[in-house]
Chains A and B, each alone.
Chain A
Amino acid sequence: MTTNVDKTNGGPSNGANKASGPADANPVAKDAVTVVDPRLLVRQEGFKGYLTEFGRKMRSGDLGAVPVIVGIAIIWAVFQWKDSAFLSPKNLSDLSILLGGTGMISVGIVFVLLLGEIDLSVGSLSGLAAATLAVLNVNHGVPEGIALIAALASGAVLGAVHGFFFAKIGVPAFVVTLAGLLAWNGLMLQVLGTTGTISIADDSFVRDLTAHYFSQLIAAYGAATVATAGFFLAQFLDARRRKAVGIPSRPLSEILVRTGVLAVIVYAAAWRLNEYKGLPLALVIFVAVLVILDFVVRRTSYGRKVIALGGSVEAARRAGINVVAIRISVYSLAGLMAACGGIMIASRIGSASQQAGTGNLLMEAIAAAVIGGTSLFGGRGSVWSALLGMLVIGSISSGMNLLGVANSVQYMITGGVLLAAVVIDSVSRRTQRSAGRG
């Protein structure tokens, strides 16, 4: 989302120039627009222009990921001050693994929220996927790969079932997925049968998903280098292509600053992770999923259709978008991601149990997406909000556990953070409207 939002700012300079050009037959109109729309202000090239633009965006309510990043910084500072073990390599490494499970589920929720809908069944689906995997593999001796595929497929298919009832039959998504929440939890208990908890073997691939570390130093630093270089190249080539066809592009200085910020973050993370056991496989999987799905949302016509549906169903329909197919596919994706998350969680815990997918899991997944900045009102958000939101929730619970704070207090604090996030979302929408409307 950040990149998308920022791209909008390339525009004003040219737009304003054009307005003062030969087409200036109607000066009154231009003035009227200039007064009401802050974005018409000419943006200076270079780094100073970037800063003023940034300030202007903040004031007009276009906050992007800033509140959540500030929030994470505060949370980390407070916990580090209270207990120096918080930013220790072990704790950070554990946190990075913890993110993956609920984070994966949250990514699916982001897609559903982009549609402007909700999915309450993802917790139960994640538990069911874990149970399916364990029962097939451990109890029935099905090869691990096939059991994994079956577990993932169960999520995708059952998600599609929700989508079908919502999109085709017209049952409100809230009700369909609430039914799913109950039904699939029941099915999970049925599948587990009398055995109850099924342990997953320590030497299995599934266990490795969260237990494996790439311990060579080069792995983490190499990944950081690939991420930084990839980011820079993508931005640089895009800017060059834009310049070639004569539309506003990001100045090189801005690209360098952005790359620099990213480099500091990823290399710091790599350094910290290498201090412990190295780069966790779970983190690699989670980030890879984020990168791929972020690309899907922002750069493919499928993602564009999902966002369009979140903005206006009628407009999307008239533009020839197959509303039913998109809705079913998004619910199916949410189910698939829930299954991924369920498997990651089972891998971390080392078993599939009757408690899997119940309790706070669903609420945490939804809260993470919202805290990370994805709007509950549809059409606005980013896949990365799953990571940012999970960082907030994960940091709070990890820090509180270190300090020995009771669960009761943790829940209350997480609830408060969620409320704050939604308040920021609502207020920023209002500010945006009053600042942006003409």
Chain B
Amino acid sequence: MAIVPNGPVLALRGISKRFGAVQALTDIHLEVHAGEVVALVGDNGAGKSTLVKSIAGVGPADEGVVEWQGKPVQVTRPHDAQELGIATVYQDLALCDNIDVVGNLFLGREILRAGVLDEVEMERRSRELLQTLSIRIPSVRIPIASLSGGQRQTVAIARSMLGEPKLVILDEPTAALGVEQTAQVLDLVERLRDRGLAVILISHNMADVKAVADRVAVLRLGRNNGTFDVKTTSQEEIISAITGATDNAVTRRKARSGEVAK
């Protein structure tokens, strides 16, 4: 819960992005501190995914500055983001169903011993990692296909942890999960925060957001529409910020310009 007093791990300043005739993002500001979960919410098409892609280096922003630990950086390729310590878990997880948990965790960064896969070391480290994150799966040697949706999600998140990131971006981690599995994933998000990581959580589910996030950043039609402290804000207030029903002159003006754009 503790927000580290020094500067933000990641700060976005004035991020804008255009796709042809569509202004997807306009002048977005966002700050994420270590040991903090920031929920990024917004209606469909609000620009959440576009913003995440600009941070992850998949679709760099046109304008604006990305500051990493206080220094402006260029993130133009996914590789740049990984180098900095940004790990992204996409909605479609990108796991290989036919390979076991250990193989998936180390896919693309296998540990070799004399040029040969070091299964023993990889299994040991996998167990260690899953244990520190208190992730429970039947065995690290069963194929991903045998795991439930929630277990797959936790494996995907655990995998992002192998690179020892400082910021983890989770894209709708609970979207397709049942109640119990959602709880498992949310527990894991809290554990990431307790380990001092910064987390950006994209979610549609207000209950999830209220449960784990420290702050909520609302996007609406590609613009910032307020940042709220979860503890002091009601769910209704957040929802009205998402839908644009907030009763103030600024948002009414934005809503109008949005409709004209349509």
Chain A residues within an 8 Å CB radius of B121: 245
Interface string of B93-133 (1 = CB under 8 A from A): 11111111001000111101001110111011001000100
Which of chain A's residues has its CB closest to B112's CB?
A: A301
8 Å CB contact of A310 from B98, B117, B180: B98
- The reply to whether A8 and B120 form a contact with Cβ atoms under 8 Å apart is no
CB of A140 within 8 Å of the partner chain: no
Given A312-B94, A320-B108, residue A9 in contact with residue B151 (CB < 8 A) = no
In the bound assembly, the distance between CA atoms of A26 and B183 in angstroms comes to 10
Q: How far is the CB of A321 from chain B (nearest CB, A)?
A: 6
8 Å CB contact of A436 from B93, B137, B140, B142: B142
- The reply to whether B124 and A245 form a contact with Cβ atoms under 8 Å apart is yes
CB of A300 within 8 Å of the partner chain: yes
Q: How far is the CB of B130 from chain A (nearest CB, A)?
A: 9
8 Å CB contact of B94 from A7, A33, A318, A380: A318
- The reply to whether B94 and A319 form a contact with Cβ atoms under 8 Å apart is yes
CB of A238 within 8 Å of the partner chain: yes
In the bound assembly, the distance between CA atoms of A120 and B171 in angstroms comes to 42
Which of chain A's residues has its CB closest to B106's CB?
A: A304
- Count how many chain A residues have C-beta atoms less than 8 Å from C-beta atoms of the other chain: 54
- The reply to whether A315 and B95 form a contact with Cβ atoms under 8 Å apart is yes
Interface hits, A235-250 → B, CB 8 Å: 238, 241-242, 245-247
Chain B residues within an 8 Å CB radius of A30: 136
- Count how many chain B residues have C-beta atoms less than 8 Å from C-beta atoms of the other chain: 45
In the bound assembly, the distance between CA atoms of A383 and B169 in angstroms comes to 40
CB of A141 within 8 Å of the partner chain: no
Given A32-B180, A379-B98, A438-B146, residue A308 in contact with residue B107 (CB < 8 A) = yes
Chain A residues within an 8 Å CB radius of B95: 312, 315
CB of A71 within 8 Å of the partner chain: no
- The reply to whether A319 and B141 form a contact with Cβ atoms under 8 Å apart is no
- The reply to whether B120 and A245 form a contact with Cβ atoms under 8 Å apart is yes
- The reply to whether B138 and A39 form a contact with Cβ atoms under 8 Å apart is yes
Chain B residues within an 8 Å CB radius of A23: 131, 134, 136
8 Å CB contact of B183 from A29, A304, A315: A29
- The reply to whether A436 and B120 form a contact with Cβ atoms under 8 Å apart is no
Chain B residues within an 8 Å CB radius of A432: 145-146
- The reply to whether B136 and A311 form a contact with Cβ atoms under 8 Å apart is no
Which of chain A's residues has its CB closest to B116's CB?
A: A299
- The reply to whether A379 and B127 form a contact with Cβ atoms under 8 Å apart is no
CB of B74 within 8 Å of the partner chain: no
- The reply to whether A308 and B94 form a contact with Cβ atoms under 8 Å apart is no
8 Å CB contact of A246 from B109, B124, B180: B124
- The reply to whether B96 and A238 form a contact with Cβ atoms under 8 Å apart is no
Interface hits, B218-239 → A, CB 8 Å: none
Given A247-B124, A314-B94, A315-B107, residue A307 in contact with residue B99 (CB < 8 A) = yes
Which of chain A's residues has its CB closest to B79's CB?
A: A320
In the bound assembly, the distance between CA atoms of A19 and B151 in angstroms comes to 14
Query: Which of A7, A15, A310, A436 has its CB near the most chain B CB atoms (within 10 A)?
Result: A15
8 Å CB contact of B136 from A19, A241, A304, A379: A19
- The reply to whether A28 and B138 form a contact with Cβ atoms under 8 Å apart is no
- The reply to whether B108 and A319 form a contact with Cβ atoms under 8 Å apart is yes
CB of A12 within 8 Å of the partner chain: yes
Which of chain B's residues has its CB closest to A433's CB?
A: B145
In the bound assembly, the distance between CA atoms of A7 and B96 in angstroms comes to 18
CB of B147 within 8 Å of the partner chain: yes
- The reply to whether B131 and A39 form a contact with Cβ atoms under 8 Å apart is no
CB of A36 within 8 Å of the partner chain: yes
CB of A350 within 8 Å of the partner chain: no
Q: How far is the CB of B251 from chain A (nearest CB, A)?
A: 37
- The reply to whether B146 and A37 form a contact with Cβ atoms under 8 Å apart is yes
Chain A residues within an 8 Å CB radius of B147: 438
- The reply to whether B116 and A29 form a contact with Cβ atoms under 8 Å apart is no
- The reply to whether B139 and A315 form a contact with Cβ atoms under 8 Å apart is no
Query: Which of B95, B121, B134, B146 has its CB near the most chain A CB atoms (within 10 A)?
Result: B146
Interface hits, A119-168 → B, CB 8 Å: none
Interface string of A1-31 (1 = CB under 8 A from B): 0000001111110111011000101101110
Query: Which of B108, B117, B127, B138 has its CB near the most chain A CB atoms (within 10 A)?
Result: B138
CB of B44 within 8 Å of the partner chain: no
- The reply to whether A314 and B98 form a contact with Cβ atoms under 8 Å apart is no
Interface string of A281-322 (1 = CB under 8 A from B): 000000000000000001111001001101110111011110
CB of B259 within 8 Å of the partner chain: no
Given A33-B148, A300-B117, A438-B147, residue A247 in contact with residue B127 (CB < 8 A) = yes
Which of chain A's residues has its CB closest to B96's CB?
A: A311
- The reply to whether B139 and A311 form a contact with Cβ atoms under 8 Å apart is no
CB of A40 within 8 Å of the partner chain: yes
Q: How far is the CB of B131 from chain A (nearest CB, A)?
A: 7
CB of B92 within 8 Å of the partner chain: yes
- The reply to whether B97 and A12 form a contact with Cβ atoms under 8 Å apart is no
Given A380-B98, A438-B147, residue A29 in contact with residue B180 (CB < 8 A) = yes
Known: A8-B141, A15-B137, A29-B184. 12 other contacts (CB 8 A): A8-B139, A19-B136, A29-B136, A33-B148, A238-B120, A247-B124, A304-B103, A307-B99, A311-B99, A312-B95, A312-B96, A378-B98
Nearest 9 A/B pairs, CB to CB: A11-B139, A438-B148, A319-B108, A311-B96, A436-B146, A8-B141, A379-B98, A311-B98, A315-B94
Residues of chain A whose beta carbon lies under 8 Å from any beta carbon of chain B:
7-12, 14-16, 18-19, 23, 25-26, 28-30, 32-33, 36-37, 39-40, 238, 241-242, 245-247, 298-301, 304, 307-308, 310-312, 314-316, 318-321, 378-380, 432-433, 436-438
